[in-house]
Chains A and B, each alone.
Chain A
Amino acid sequence: MRLALSTAAAPDLGLAELIDACVRRGLAGLELVSGDAHGVGPECPVEELAEARRAAEAAGIAIAAFRAADRAEACSRAAARLSAVCRAPVILPRDTAGIPEDELVAAARVFAEEGGVLLVAHGTDAEAVAALRRAIEQAPAGSLGLAWDVDPGDPGLVARLGAVLDAAGPHLRHVLLIGGGPEAAGQEGRGVGPLMGRLALARYDGAIALAPSTPRYRYAWGAWLGRRGGWGCGSRAGGGLPVRLDLER
């Protein structure tokens, strides 16, 4: 497994700043959320996408995934091309799940033609995962998989995580952990330890992207990521010291 940063933690940062933040924190990847300031999206020319991937890789950071805004964006040929060029799966967001099985399989075929991978986000519901598995088994091999959005605020997480992992099997390719980072200490007893232990024993080797549980924590995430300046603490004050201490007597 490798920890990654969701750009939801710092939606206003450009790609270079995000890469620096990952390096500072020892994170191995970036989950790019559609529309954030990283500048990567299905509308980008191939050269720009390739340049973004190269910039990340040069710093030892992988683009772990691109989380699309909606079903139309996720299932487009342009998204499939992004996936192939960035060597990263595209995630169909959870709130657009419920897409008919044949449409998922059709979208997966487009991804297979372009050399990309489409992942369908799901929650901690083993039955929903089992239903998605049926579509995965009809799709071209390797073109469709699962992305688990894990919410430690879900009181049933510990009881259900084994069933979800069993249902997902080898098709689980990405995990989004809501919280982590500066929020980790506040998640005691919410199943993060059992989750990480079970993922390790299942030999899960995909990314675990960390994202804030609420935008209210963005300040804490910014501090955790080592952002400087712009916090209203005077760190951007220019033109010499604004405060003088006359200590001579």
Chain B
Amino acid sequence: MSEAGQKLPELDVRVIPPREKHPTIFATFEALRPGESFILVNDHDPRPLRYQFEFEYTGQYDWQYLEQGPVVWRVQISKL
């Protein structure tokens, strides 16, 4: 919960074909307004994604792990 008590949008990428995962995540991030967040759900630690965020959106995002395995990883990604 956040954003005035509303449940955060959740993007579960486990069903998305591998090559479409990052483009979908970035498109979702792009659609956020500053101050908004979404929760990313994945079946592994999305560290490579974080490196890509760091490269593409330096200083424009926040990354917070909500759950770290062993089966499911949940990360709250916010637009600053």
Contact = CB atoms under 8 A, between A and B. Distances in A.
Interface of A: 1-3, 23-26, 177, 179-181, 184-190, 192-194, 196-197, 200-203, 205, 208, 210
Given A26-B72, A193-B23, A193-B24, A188 B17 contact: yes
B43 interface: yes
A197 B12 CA distance: 9
A125 B4 CA distance: 34
Contact of A188 (B19, B28, B31): B19
Contacts of B71: 23-26
Contact of B21 (A179, A190, A193): A193
Nearest to B11: A200
A3 B7 contact: no
Given A1-B11, A3-B15, A200-B11, 11 more contacts: A2-B10, A25-B71, A26-B43, A26-B71, A184-B18, A192-B15, A197-B27, A200-B10, A200-B28, A201-B9, A205-B7
A59 to B, nearest CB: 13
Given A26-B43, A26-B72, A205 B19 contact: no
A208 B41 CA distance: 13
B36 to A, nearest CB: 10
Nearest to B14: A3
Contact of A192 (B7, B16, B27): B16
